Structure 1
Amino acid sequence: MAQSQVGLIGLGTMGAALALNIAEKGFPIAVWNRTTSVTHRFHRDAGALSAQITPADTLEQLVAAIAAPRVVILMVPAGQAVDDQLAALAPLLDAGDLVIDAGNADFHDTDRRSAAGLSFGFLGMGVSGGEEGARHGPSIMAGGSEADWQRIEPLLSAIAARAEDGSPCAARMGESGAGHFVKMVHNGIEYADMQMIAEIYGLMRDGMGLPAAAISQVFAGWNDGPLQSYLVEISARVAEAADPVTGQPILDVILDRAGQKGTGRWTVIEAQHLSAPVPVIDAAVMARNVSARLGEREAGEDRFGAAPGPVRLDHATLEAALIAGKILCYAQGFAMIAAASEGFGWALPLPRIAQVWRAGCIIRSAMLNDMATALDQHADRNLVLAPHFADLLDRTVPALRQVVTAGLAAGNPLPALANGLIWFDMMRTARGTANMIQAQRDFFGAHGFQRLDGLDRPHGPWSSAG
């Protein structure tokens, strides 16, 4: 007998947390994992929620346990595993059923699957917030038809995080791969935000000689101001934590080699295709790649000497620099989303995206409230030109310039902060130096150029110049 309102496939860390969230919100759920023992262990460990959960030993049992028209959520690894699961479900589902891919899929794959003529409905859904978010309220970014979204919206809104005003952090972003695209950019911003925090941490550790405990206090203080955010909050907690083995600060025993799952790289690659510059995200991806080259970095230090030197900076200046960097990073991310909205015909709801990111997700921060307001007032205006953020940049960019100048002069690597400042300076320069590049292109390739005086002379006098 069909009892469950929804099914879920894949009981890894995120899948198990999301299933418990769904059950806790009052939606009976059937679950299946390809390893049967995992399914039954999950059901046993669910405690009081086990009454809301139906464990299935086979896909056929899972489908039979869900009330028609069925909804099945996939929480399996991105890529071929999703295609395999869709193929396995095809003979078991009806035309009115709906499958939701809630993994970290490449949005191009989601577009392809949406256009493949599946015999059932299909939604691509980005879920952010890690295990804690999945369990107690993530940020949800869906892509697919309006009809499919309306059908599943009550459940998704129920399990989503809530912003301070009580609104659910769940929304439909547009057709097909739009949800996974927005999640991808979210993750790119996440890379950049983390990198800028790490660079400020490095200045305090190497440039100012502060111990981890003192750095923790600085971050904790900043989290009570404009920088209030999940990432600054956990940075304070990470810096104060002690290693249970050695008793040293945990940061002092962690190898400085950062992992990555690819979404930041996808963001940078797609930004190039869209001609949407995201140099802060680009720098963050580059920095992770360099961090992996530990042997080469050790050889570089042996040959050239240790890079970081002392700097004379105060905490207020560092805070202001991080505020400026954060604004510039998010401005680039939203500009990329706007470019995709136009390029892919998605009509992506920029103000709603900022609202959805206010809670549940990794980049949640108080600043997103003002970003949502600015985008609602003028969605096609770059955030740096919104009055509130333009005024903030007036006050904080001098600090960013001071931090980048002092840090680089002393050999402290600051790729994300420096790239943000460079982008800002280019964005406020009405006449830059690309006229030289265009002249060069015309000289060797007859590519032509536009003239300031409007005369119809598209090529230069290069032959007479020899």
Structure 2
Amino acid sequence: MPERDLSTFGLVGLGVMGRNFILNVADKGFTALGYDLDPEKAAALEKEGAASGRVRATDNLEAFVGGLERPRRIMLLVPAGKPVDAVIDALLPHLEAGDIIVDGGNSFYKDTDRREAFLKEKGIHFFGAGVSGGAEGARRGPSIMPGGSREAYAHLKPIFEAVAARYQNEPCVAYLGPKSAGNYVKMVHNGIEYALMQAIAETYDLLKHLGGLDNAQLAATFSRWNEGRLQSFLVEITSHIFRQPDPLGSGALVDRILDKAKQKGTGKWTSQNAMDLGIPVPSLDISVSMRQISALKPIREKAEGMYPKPALPAADLQWVEAAEATLYFTFITAYAQGMHLLSEASKAYGYELELGEIAKIWRAGCIIRAALLADITGAYQARPELDNLLLDPGFAEKVRPALEPTRRLVSAGIQHGIAIPTLAGSLSYFDAMSSGRLPLNLVQAQRDYFGAHTYERTDREGTFHTEW
């Protein structure tokens, strides 16, 4: 094929995400070639991209690889797991040293490390690049989190910076670090996402049962919050959800949706890895557990008949203001936990992450984009060595006024039997992290009593054991 007919960018997987991403690439002036095993998907992309003249598609793998400029830049948007390995195996016989494969899915970071090491031996660069923003973000501008070879990123940078979302004219993409840094950051992004979503759901429950708000009032409340310090994608779409009528019946659609939430694993991976690294992320942990509890609906319904809830008080709109402060506080603690985990993972895995840069590329395009991220960016740019966001003086000024209403609302929710583990757990996390002394001296005494596990003392150095 003549050099002038070769495409700059190749994409494997022409489902909704892949089709939208490649059309975004073409919109930004790059020639792009798509590949899918399904000839109908390839034909559909050809038809949709015909107007620009920059998009082609094929269901022939050899023609796909042969139609790309060298070094070949090939992005995979296929389901995580075995499909990624299958595509890599199929591509390998057609690739050359220096070519680049980018996995844009939610792959487990250890799989990315394995694939990167395997392909490196063959002279091929492998990137794990988290893409956040859903199908609409892929088309209009996502947040992109690439990790891999710094040298090879020079070949991806112009394309990624062109297609990424922009915040104050800055692209929401940056080279994050070697190996699986990009997939790891995307994993933690999703863990934070779980916590924010669960916190919003618990706030909704409190507003319904303590505040007495109906769907119209809930929509107005979340819409108003989205104009203030809680401005965020998730708060914005929540306000829209309460306004959506049921297309199959009467009333609001949200009231007809079954209370069983599903998950794809990234939240669980975040929680498990935080345990491995010894970093507390209770707001993220319990949000995963709540999805698991939600799936146990038959058990929940049986238990509800056995354990009556306390009577609810008369509805009181005073709780709306307290709920705003509580949600704001919980957002801060969720981001603080996620950033703390990223900091420790960077040291453990040699990622060389810059937390200010990560917060910066989350400010637009991604699911957890929020006004708070501008402040988080500033905090870590000013203090790159910050151990925890809660230690930043600027964030201390934000947290202190929110504590009293948070304690009041959490207490009321618990008193009246409303399940709010993310809100309550975030407050307990804060109280523990801001306590110079915890009752874990007793735990150490117990461990030494039954297992001779030893303990340390407050008044002298060394390790001690007592015959209790």
- What TM bracket, shorter-length normalisation? over 0.9
Mapped to 1, the partners of 2:278 and 2:244 lie a distance apart of 42
**320, 329, 343: which one aligns with 1:324:** 329
What's the secondary structure of 2:359's corresponding residue?
Answer: helix
Unaligned 5+ runs, structure 2:
none
User: Where do residues 76-87 of structure 1 align in structure 2 (5 Å cutoff)?
Assistant: 76-87=78-89
* Equivalent position SS for 2:34: strand
Query: Per-residue CA shift, 1:193-220, capped at 9, x if unaligned?
Result: 0100000101112232211111000000
Correspondences of 1:44-443 after superposition (within 5 Å): 44-46=47-49, 48-49=51-52, 51-116=53-118, 117-163=121-167, 165-305=168-308, 309-310=312-313, 312=316, 313-381=318-386, 382-443=388-449
Tell me how far 1:314 sits from its aligned partner: 2.2
Deviation at 1:277, TM superposition (A): 0.7
**Equivalent residue, structure 1, for 2:30:** 27
Kept after mapping to 2: 8 A contact 1:9/1:73:
yes
* 8 Å CA contact retained: 2:207, 2:319: no
Shift of 1:247: 3.0
Residues 367, 456 of structure 1: alpha-carbon distance in 2 compared, 3 angstrom cutoff: closer
Q: 1:6 to 1:314 in 2, by over 3 A?
A: same
* 1:232-291 CA distance string (max 9 Å, x none): 011001111111222311111111111111111111011101111100011110111111
Cα deviation 1:321-353 (Å, max 9, x = unaligned):
111111111100000000101111111110000
Q: Deviations over 1:344-364 (max 9, x none)?
A: 111111000000000000000
Which amino acid counterpart does residue 95 of structure 1 have in structure 2? A
Alpha-carbon separation, structure 2, partners of 1:457 and 1:191: 40
Which blocks of at least 5 consecutive residues in structure 1 are unaligned?
Answer: none
Matched residue, 1:3:
6
Report the alpha carbon displacement of residue 431 of structure 1 after superposing the two structures with TM: 0.9
CA contact (8 A) 2:345 2:351 kept: yes
| Partners of 1:110 and 1:177 within 8 A in 2 | yes
Shift of the 14–435 alpha-carbon distance from structure 1 to 2, 3 Å rule, reads same
Retained in 2: the 8 A contact 1:217–1:236?
Answer: yes
Structure 1 residues 198 and 308: alpha-carbon distance in aligned structure 2, compared to 1, 3 A threshold = farther
* TM-score (normalizing by structure 1): 0.96
Divergent runs of 4+, >6 A: none
C-alpha contact 2:219 2:242 (8 A) present in aligned 1: yes
DSSP-derived class of the 1:174 partner: coil
Report sequence identity in percent: 42
* Deviation (angstroms), 1:118: 3.8
Q: Would the aligned equivalents of 1:301 and 1:307 in 2 still touch at CA under 8 Å? A: no
AA aligned to 1:323 is Y
Comparing 105-114 with 435-444, greater Cα deviation is found at 435-444
TM-score (norm 2): 0.96
Amino acid at match of 1:71: R
Q: Which moved more, 1:310-319 or 1:62-71?
A: 310-319
Aligned length, in residue pairs: 460
